[in-house]
Amino acid sequence: MSQATNQSWGGRFSEPTDAFVARFTASVTFDQRLARQDIQGSIAHATMLARVGVLTDEERDTIINGLTEIQGEIERGEFNWSIPLEDVHMNIEARLTDKIGITGKKLHTGRSRNDQVATDIRLFMRDEIDVIEAELVRLREGMIELADREADTIMPGFTHLQTAQPVTFGHHLLAWQEMLTRDHERLLDCRKRVNVMPLGAAALAGTTYPIDRHVTAELLGFDRPAENSLDAVSDRDFAIEFTSFASILLMHLSRMSEELVLWTSAQFDFIDLPDRFCTGSSIMPQKKNPDVPELVRGKTGRVYGHLMALLTLMKSQPLAYNKDNQEDKEPLFDAVDTVRDCLKAFADMVPAIEPKKDSMYEAARRGFSTATDLADYLVRKGVAFRDAHEIVGQSVAYGLKTKKDLSEMTLEELQQFSATIEQDVFEVLTLEGSVAARNHIGGTAPDQVRAAASRAREALAALKGDA
C-alpha cells in the first residue's frame, strides 16, 4: 500500500491507495510537461480571485511569488516530482503549500483539476501551434523561392508514375505549396477553437464563488470563456482536430518524401540532397541514403495512429469528465513533437534541393511527353480530336518500333500518318514549346509559374498578417 492517501481528495477514504494503483493512475511522468502552462493558469486564477475579493491582495502576491519561484525550480531541474501526488497540478500545489503555508491551499478555490487540466492543455496547444505555424511558414517561403528560381527547369510530369507531359520543376514545387497552403489554413482555423477557456467550469457545473471568467480569459489571452461548463471540462475536439490537421499535413509531407526518395535514386537522378540530410551504409560505401524524407514518410503512420487513438478515446464517453481523458496527453504530445520536427527537417532541407537540370530534361524527352501537343496541333488544323488521338497513337507506335521520340522524327515520317502535319509541327514538339503553350493561370508555362509564385508569396504574407 502507498504510505498515505492523496491529501487533495482522501478525506472520505478509509485506506490508502494501493501502490500499484497509484503508479497506474498517475500522470505526472508525462503531464509535468504542462508545468509552465499550469503555473501560468494558476497565476491568472489567483489574480482574478483577488480582483473579485475571494483572496486578499497580499494572499495573491504571496501565491504568485511562490509560483514564480517554483517555475524557476522546474526550469533549473531542482523540482522533485512525486508519483503519489499523481499529476503536475497537485505536485505544484503541494510544493506551493510547502513554501508559503496555508495560503497555498487557497489557490484551488473556485476551480477543479478538471477545468485546470483542460485549460493547461489548451494553453500548451496554443503555444505549440504557434511554433508549428512558424516552421510551416518557413517551409512555404523556402518552397516558393525555390519554385520561382526553377520556373524554367523542365522535367517530366507523371500520371500513374508514367511520363505524361512536360512540366517545370517550379510548377511541381508550387503543387506541393498548394497542399501546404490548405494545411496552413486548417492549422489557423484549429487555433481558433483551441483558444477558448474552460477555467471556471470547475468540476462540471461551475462554482458558487463570484468569479469573473472574462477577466481570467483576458489575462490568459483566450478569445472567450467556454459557454457550457459540462462541455468545457470534457471537450477534446480541439485535440482531435489538431491531430487531424497533423495527419493530413504528414500525408502531404509523405507524398513529397516519396518523390524526393525517387528523384534521388540513380534511376531518376533528378535532384541531389546535401550530405547533411543523408546518411551512408555500414557495408556499402557508395550509398547516400535519403534518410530524412524516408523517416518523415515513416512517421506519417505514427501520427495517423494518434488520431485514431484520440477518436477512439472519446467515442463512448458520457458527459462530463472521465479518467479516460488522462490518455489524451501522450498521443497529443507525440503528435505535436512529430509534426514540429518533420516541418523543421523539411524547412531546412527543401530550399537546399539541387535540381539536376540535364537529367530532368533528358527524362522529359523520353516517353513521348509531347504526344498531347501533337494531338492539339492536329485539332487546330481541323482534325477531329478522336481522329487526332488515333494519328498520334500510330505515331507513338512507330516511335517505339524505331526508338525515336516524336521530335526526332522527320517531317516525312510524321506525314505518313497525316498529310495535315507540316513543318511548323516541330515548334510544338519541343519541350520548351510544350510548357510555354500552357500559358494560363494554373498552367506550367514559366511566366505563369513566376506569377503563381508571386501570388503565393503575397497570400502567405497576408495570412501571416491576419494571424
Residues 6+ apart with CB under 8 A from 400: none
From residue 154, alpha-carbon distances to 370, 404, 425, 436 in Å are 13, 20, 20, 11
Cβ pair 154, 361 in contact under 8 A: yes
Place of cell 509534426: 339
The residue from 172, 214, 265, 281 that is catalytic is 281
* Four-CA torsion 107, 109, 115, 120, nearest 10 degrees: -10
In angstroms, the CA 22 to CA 167 distance is 62
In 132-270 the beta strands, taken as DSSP E runs, fall at 154-159, 162-168, 196-197, 224-225
DSSP state of 151: T
In angstroms, the CA 187 to CA 132 distance is 9
C-alpha cell read off for 169: 520543376
Does the active-site annotation cover 42? Answer: no
Closest C-alpha to 35, from 77, 7, 74? 74
Which DSSP helix (H) or strand (E) runs through 127?
helix 113-149
Does the active-site annotation cover 160? Answer: yes
* Four-CA torsion 400, 413, 370, 418, nearest 10 degrees: -120
The residue from 160, 282, 316, 440 that is catalytic is 160
Instruction: Locate all alpha helices (DSSP H) within 237-318, ordered by sequence.
Output: 237-264, 291-314
In angstroms, the CA 175 to CA 159 distance is 14
One-letter amino acid at 345 equals A
In angstroms, the CA 236 to CA 251 distance is 23
In angstroms, the CA 256 to CA 268 distance is 15
In angstroms, the CA 318 to CA 324 distance is 11
| Catalytically annotated residues | 160, 281
